[in-house]
Amino acid sequence: MKEEDLKLQITGILKSSGKERKNLIPLLQEIQREFGYIPPEAMEEIGKFLGIAETTVYGVATFYNQFRFTPPGRHHIKVCLGTACHIKGGNIILEAWERKLNIKEGEVTPDRGFSLERVACVGCCALAPVSMVEDTVEGKETIEGTMMPTRVDGILLSFELEEKKKDKIKGEEE
Amino acid sequence: MSKVNLTIDDVPVNAAEGESILWAALDAGIYIPNLCAIRERKSPFASCRLCWVEIEGVDLPATSCTTPVKEGMKVQTRTPRVLRLVRTSFELLISHHPVDCARCAKNKKCELQRIAREFKFKLKPGKFRKLLRELPVDSSHPCFILDPNKCVLCGRCVWLCNEVQRACALDFAFRGLNTVITTSGGKPLGESDCSACRECVSVCPVGALIPK
Ligand code: FES
Ligand code: FES
């Protein structure tokens, strides 16, 4: 997205809000709903709009786990670390994702293929440990229950194969 | 302004009404450990949990920076309960603080060393596990260096930067063990809104903000 477009979209969101400080978190949520993350430009604009320091906006935004600062990748992976998943070794699963994708929780791979996020209980504790795999382009979400590190490999492999297949079809069409 | 009479560690003290016990004691030459207190600050931050005292007739120990003096008050600053609380707060701070005094620019002027000396504490985390962070040191600013690893999160620099100097370059970010003092977006201080007033450096009780 071009910078001017981004700014325009941000001011559009700001316009519908009041200027009181209490609007800070709702605004951040609105921005994240729109962009899938909080761009630095948005924090600057929110600060100006509400008449508070940009650092304060950054401080509040980073305090909450719900906000992310990198754009989500094509496949957005949410690893549950709620109580049940935690007990069932959710952190081992998170580590497996981190190691395989070579990024940390909250980050995105350089090619924008995958992003990683930790979440609290996603509501299917019987399947713990749970990961959710979201296709941000097609807007589809798959729940992966009773995760194991080997399953992480499996999921990534299937994506790889899928990509290859698509490339092949594309090649044939051309 | 009217004055009130009280005793601190059995020493009679005369203090201005509305003053907190902490400043009344410090003025009278009685040391109460503190990191986050700033006299000019109207509502104390009260985050370091070091300034404990016991007041006669009050069940629980209180933080002296948030408790105003009262006529006839009897304050004790070194009771067993106070000592235990101070020790715990201190050990928690040390568990998160790299102890490398010999190579630290704040050596001998560090508030943590002072507390250790006054209370005969070791610079060790005691019953706690040492949990050090390995954060990058920011030396991008022409005047000073910020070492977030040594920061005790007292909030003094934040208050000065935002409420007094109004430069609004520094603030808290993140949460829990990951809390840091940083600029907006975590960008280098050299590129921030800092106006180079250096007030933050002058109030840092430890070696986190050091002049160049
Ligand atoms: S704790 Fe993970 S789904 Fe409930
Ligand atoms: S000085 Fe009272 S809590 Fe820090």
Ordered per-residue pLDDT tens for chain B, 212 residues: 799 999 999 999 999 999 999 999 999 999 999 999 999 998 999 999 999 999 999 999 999 999 999 999 999 999 999 999 999 999 999 999 999 999 999 999 999 999 999 999 999 999 999 999 999 999 999 999 999 999 999 999 999 999 999 999 999 999 999 999 999 999 999 999 899 999 999 999 999 999 99
Look at residue A116 and tell me whether its pLDDT is greater than 70.
yes
Shared domain for B115 and B84, answered yes or no, is yes
In terms of domains, do B38 and B113 share one?
Answer: yes
Q: Do B116 and B90 fall within a single domain?
A: yes
Residue given tokens 């067993």 in the structure block: B80
Rounded to two decimals, what is the model's pTM? 0.84
**Residue A40: pLDDT over 80:** yes
Distance of alpha carbon A114 from alpha carbon B62, whole angstroms: 50
Judged against a pLDDT cut of 90, whether residue A136 lies above it is answered with no
- Return the DSSP state at B162: I
A128 lines ligand 1 (CB under 6 A): yes
Q: Looking at the complex, does the CB of residue A116 fall below 8 Å from at least one CB of chain B?
A: no
Most confident stretch, A2-16, A132-146, B148-162: B148-162
Our count of domains for chain B comes to 2
Q: Are B9 and B107 in the same domain?
A: yes
Say how far apart CA B212 and CA B210 lie, in whole Å. Answer: 6
Q: How far is the CA of B36 from the centre of ligand 1 (A)?
A: 39
Q: Which CATH class is domain A75-173?
A: alpha beta
Same domain? For B19 and B53 the reply is: yes
> Which residue range(s) make up the domain with B23?
1-132
Q: Is residue A1 predicted with pLDDT exceeding 70? A: no
**Structural domain spans, chain A:** 3-63, 75-173
B78/B120 Cα distance (integer angstroms): 13
Alpha carbon separation from B107 to A103, B52, B100 (Å, rounded): 38, 25, 9
What is the predicted ipTM? Answer: 0.87
Residue A152: other Cβ atoms inside 10 A: 23
| Co-location of B67 and B102 in the same domain | yes
Domain identity same for B100 and B10 = yes
Q: Residue B177: which residues within 8 A CB-CB, separation 6 or more?
A: B96, B131, B133
B131 in helix, strand or coil?
coil
- What is the residue type of B193? D
Which of B103, B132, B161 is the last residue before a domain boundary? B132
Question: Exposed, middle or buried by CB within 10 Å (0-12, 13-18, 19+), for A160?
Answer: exposed
Which residues in B lie closer than 8 A to residue A57 (C-beta atoms)?
Answer: 184
- CATH 1.10.10.1590 is right for the domain spanning A3-63: yes
Last residue of a domain, one of B132, B153, B168: B132
- Residue A166: per-residue pLDDT: 86
CA distance readout (Å), B44 to A42, B23, B50, B112, B163: 32, 12, 13, 20, 13
Mean pLDDT of A28-48: 94
Lowest mean pLDDT among A46-50, A135-139, B16-20, B43-47: A135-139
Q: Residue B158: give its domain's CATH number.
A: 3.30.70.20
In this complex, the residue of B169, B174, B175 whose CB is nearest that of residue A55 is: B169
Q: Mark whether B40 and B112 lie in a shared domain.
A: yes
Q: Do residues B53 and B21 make contact, with C-beta atoms less than 8 angstroms apart?
A: yes
If asked whether residues B124 and B151 sit together in one domain, one would say no
Q: Does one domain contain both B53 and B151? A: no
Cα A81 to Cα A128: distance, rounded to the nearest angstrom: 9
